[in-house]
Structures are given as C-alpha cells and as structure tokens.
C-alpha cells in the first residue's frame, strides 16, 4: 500500500509541476533535450515534441500527437499522463447558448446542427488562441480552463480576454449571430486524468468549475459575468460593472460578480 501511495504522490508532484510550470518543469528536462534534436515545427509548448516535419513523423509513431484539448500541447503532456492530477490555481470559463431549446425548434434539426458546429468551431479556435484547455463541448455549451503551465503566468488575463474575444466573435455588441452568455470563476481546482480503466478524461474538477457554470447560467445573452475572485486576480485594465451579489444553487453564501464591458 505504501508503494502505491508513493507512486501516486510522485505522479501528483509531476502533475503539479507541469500544470504550474509547463516548459520549465524539471521532470521534462531530459525529454526536452532529446526533442530539440528532432527537426520539425510547430512543437509542443511543454516538452518541445515536434508536430511537423520529419521529427513529427517519428514522434507520431511513439504517440506524441497534438492533444484534442489543446493542439499546442501533445497528448503525452496531457491525456496520456499517468492517471491522477493535482490541485492548482485555475480559471474556468463556460459559454452557453441562451434559449437553445426554442432556437432548435425554430431552426429545425439540420440548421440547428449547423449553428452548433459554427459555435463550437469559433469557440475552440479562439480559446486555443488564448492557450485555454478546451475541456468539454456539451450540448449547447463549451467549458475551458486556464492554468499557468499551459497558458503562462498571466493566465487569468488570458481567460478574461478570451471571454471578450468570444463575445466579439459572436457578433456582440452590434450584430450577434447567436445568443450566448459567459461565466468565469477562479480558484483551486483539481486538474488531471480522472475516470475508470475503460474511460479516462483530462479535466478540471472542483468549486471553480461549479461556480463558473452557475454564474454562466445567470448571464444574459451577450453578457460576461466574472466572479470577483477572478476579476481581482487580473493585472490588466478591463471595463466592468460594480460588484454585486448572486445567489447560486448549492452555495450558502452569495457570490460577488461583475459584468464585463464588451
């Protein structure tokens, strides 16, 4: 039992180092040296694994492929890490289509599917451009998280700017082509590979995930609601309303939020 616990502790430290330090992680030093010798661009932001060229062809045979969660990172630095994870500071973002049931009824199945595909495509392109990890595409919503190891030291700023970029891509404030509300929260989350031996998912769990989802459910079309926990962590100037309380399901105390200016 102690040996198992020791392995889990070792994996947890490896997870924490990669999630918080990324390319600076000591545990990847030897791998990065080897990867630098292989030609090919672009490369994994964490381990330098080449995705293109001759080096990329060789590495793909060994399983070093772009992650489906963020193609700027390889699967071996993400989905194929050992099962487990670590608690790290993260920012979580949810974007959800407002009134999707009525919208689906009005458009019909085929047109609604086309609209959803456009929503997913635009959302993932922008989120990845801001170094987000796209956690899930669920029905009519997108969930993503930002950590310093993948998005850099200013990951809080990137999360907020990603939310603003999303709304502008959806056509707000002048000419929206889809009604979307966004919620953002920050805090300590458990991030890693969780699940059973048959199905493992690289994901984020914890209070910031739940709060961001609840905040998003209260955002109107074209509105970005951000918790004061996430807003106060910003080091950039962002226009926002005064903080006000929201009563959220499952939370005993009201959560203070701001509405971002688009």
Are 110 and 65 members of one domain? no
CATH of the domain at 204: 3.30.70.1230
Q: Which domain holds residue 250?
A: 85-259
Per-residue pLDDT at 53 = 87
Per-residue pLDDT at 88 = 97
* Local confidence pLDDT in tens for the 262 residues of the chain: 444 444 445 589 888 988 998 866 666 777 777 777 788 788 888 888 888 888 878 888 877 789 989 888 888 888 878 888 999 999 999 999 999 999 999 999 999 999 999 999 999 999 999 999 999 998 899 999 999 999 999 999 999 999 999 999 999 999 999 999 999 999 999 999 988 777 888 999 999 999 999 999 999 999 999 999 999 999 999 999 999 999 998 888 999 999 999 8
Point out the domain boundary residue: 29, 63, 81: 81
Number of folded domains that form the chain: 2
Per-residue pLDDT at 245 = 97
Are 125 and 240 members of one domain? yes
Are 76 and 94 members of one domain? no
Are 117 and 211 members of one domain? yes
Point out the domain boundary residue: 81, 114, 132: 81
Are 73 and 154 members of one domain? no
Are 142 and 160 members of one domain? yes
Are 199 and 213 members of one domain? yes
Are 129 and 16 members of one domain? no
Are 16 and 126 members of one domain? no
Point out the domain boundary residue: 56, 81, 106: 81
Per-residue pLDDT at 39 = 84
Are 110 and 236 members of one domain? yes
Alpha-carbon torsion angle 109, 115, 121, 124, nearest 10: -100
Are 50 and 179 members of one domain? no
Are 91 and 207 members of one domain? yes
């Amino acid at each position: 039992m102690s040996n198992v616990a020791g392995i889990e502790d070792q994996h947890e430290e490896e997870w924490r180092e990669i999630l918080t330090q990324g390319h600076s992680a000591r545990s990847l030093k030897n791998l990065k040296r080897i990867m630098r010798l292989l030609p090919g661009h672009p490369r994994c932001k964490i381990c330098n694994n080449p995705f293109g060229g001759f080096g990329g062809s060789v590495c793909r045979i060994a399983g070093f492929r772009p992650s489906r969660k963020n193609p700027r990172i390889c699967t071996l630095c993400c989905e194929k890490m050992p099962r487990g994870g670590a608690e790290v500071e993260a920012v979580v973002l949810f974007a959800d289509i407002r009134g999707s049931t009525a919208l689906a009824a009005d458009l019909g199945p085929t047109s609604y599917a086309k609209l959803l595909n456009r929503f997913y495509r635009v959302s993932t392109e922008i989120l990845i451009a801001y170094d987000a990890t796209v956690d899930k595409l669920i029905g009519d919503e997108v969930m993503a998280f930002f950590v310093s190891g993948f998005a850099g030291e200013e990951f809080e700023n990137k999360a907020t700017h990603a939310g603003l970029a999303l709304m502008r891509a959806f056509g707000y404030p002048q000419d929206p082509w889809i009604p979307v509300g966004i919620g953002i929260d920050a805090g300590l989350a458990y991030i890693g590979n969780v699940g059973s031996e048959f199905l493992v998912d690289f994901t984020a769990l914890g209070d910031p995930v739940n709060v961001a989802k609840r905040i998003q459910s209260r955002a109107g079309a074209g509105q970005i609601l951000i918790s004061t926990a996430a807003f106060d962590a910003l080091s950039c100037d962002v226009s926002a309303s005064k903080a006000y309380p929201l009563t959220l399901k499952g939370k005993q105390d009201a959560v203070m939020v701001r509405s971002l200016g688009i």
